[in-house]
Amino acid sequence: MRRSVLYAHRRICEDAAAPSIPRSYRSGSEVESRTCHMIACVAPVLSSYWPLMMPLSAWLLLLVGAAPLVSVSVGSRAPNASLPLVLWHGMGDSCCNPLSMGSIKKMVEEDVPGIYVLSLMIGKSVVQDTENGFFMDVNEQVSFACNQLSKDPELQSGYNAMGFSQGGQFLRAVAQRCPSPPMRNLISVGGQQQGVYGLPRCPGESSHICDWIRKMLNSGAYSDFVQKHLVQAQYWHDPLNGDLYKEKSLFLADINQERGINETYKKNLMSLNKFVMVKFLQDSVVDPVDTEWFGFLKPGQAEETETLQDSVIYKEDRLGLAEMDKAGKLVFLATEGDHLQFTRAWFDENLLPYLH
């Protein structure tokens, strides 16, 4: 019954999003119209069926690899941490999913007795939080998060931050834009620091949402409407259209200083004690995977990649990353496994030391 209802809703959305316009006459305005129809359809179906749709929510997490898959065993106990921890989940996940971020929060609290852990909720509910990971302007999300942090009395002496998947680059934006309260260590777990030029695999028969997002990105990622209403478009980094990317990207081009140098951004990022980046060596979700270590595709083509150290951002030190690297503030970690898949033992050995 649930499957048939969702399928019917899908067909209604597809029909609404595909007006009978001859291909030769379709334009950017049609892309906006189709996007608007799909946003109007997809958001309600997430809300309306959320209490019934654990299989769908699980699929969403698989779809984007946004939910950490942790193999849990009894871990060692660490001494009390002096700083709280702020978490930001990935796309398709939420602050409080007991199978993902809730599990991470609990694991940290067990490893560090007495630690204060805040898992960011972007919105007024878990449902809104999940939907906003797809459809809320990233700049507005960052402002929303900064407002939460500034009002939390537990964080005023400083905090560490850990972002999963797209939450990794969103928390870096927090570090650059919102220096109070101060962020000490930033841990990006599979974050797309240079953006993406590809969409994740779409397992299962409900892959139409991912397929639709891919179509929107391929046909109009840099249109004003798509940029404003589709989160993933705001860190879509097209190496074949570098000038268009720099001009139109509402989020990534700004925080990566690709339109100009904001000295405040640079100063704030350099104030971090450590910037830790985790790459998953068998990642089948993030494309290119080098973005997890701040590398990316070489400009002007879509085959060869370059490291952070070979990039213009580093050579011109537009973000202060070169200076941070020389000072030992950049930490590059790698682990076997697909996107966000790690064991508790690996977490405790490699990430827990940066939470003190």
CATH number of the CATH domain containing 285: 3.40.50.1820
Is 42 part of any domain?
Answer: no
Angstrom distance (rounded) from CA 141 to CA 167: 10
In this predicted model, what pLDDT tens digit does every residue of 93-104 receive, in sequence order?
Answer: 999 999 899 999
Per-residue pLDDT, averaged over 161-167, amounts to: 97
Mean predicted confidence (pLDDT) in 155-170? 97
Task: Provide mean pLDDT across the span 196-217.
Answer: 66
CB 288 within 8 A of CB 305: yes
Q: Which of 65-74, 83-92, 96-105 has the lowest mean pLDDT?
A: 65-74
Residue 311, pLDDT > 60, answer: yes
Selecting among 57, 94, 165, 206, the annotated active-site residue is 165
Within a domain: 317: yes
Please confirm, yes or no, whether 339 is among the known catalytic residues: yes
- Does residue 209 carry a pLDDT above 90? no
pTM for this predicted structure: 0.79
Quote the pLDDT of residue 216.
75
What pLDDT does residue 25 have? Answer: 29
Active site residue 243: no
Q: Is residue 327 part of a domain?
A: yes
Q: So what's the pLDDT on residue 20?
A: 32
Number of domains making up the chain: 1
CA distance 351 to 290: 20
Domain that holds residue 120: 64-197+251-355
- Within-domain flag for 135: yes
Q: Is residue 170 part of a domain?
A: yes
Cα–Cα nearest to 335, from 318, 327, 320, 347: 347
**Residue 280: what are its φ and ψ, rounded to 5°?**
-100, 115
223 among known catalytic residues: no
Q: What confidence category does residue 228 fall into, taking pLDDT thresholds of 50, 70 and 90?
A: very high
**320 within domain boundaries:** yes
Residue 19 — very low, low, confident or very high, per pLDDT cuts 50/70/90?
very low
- 212 within domain boundaries: no
pLDDT at 6 over 50: no
Q: Which of 238, 283, 290, 317 is catalytic?
A: 283
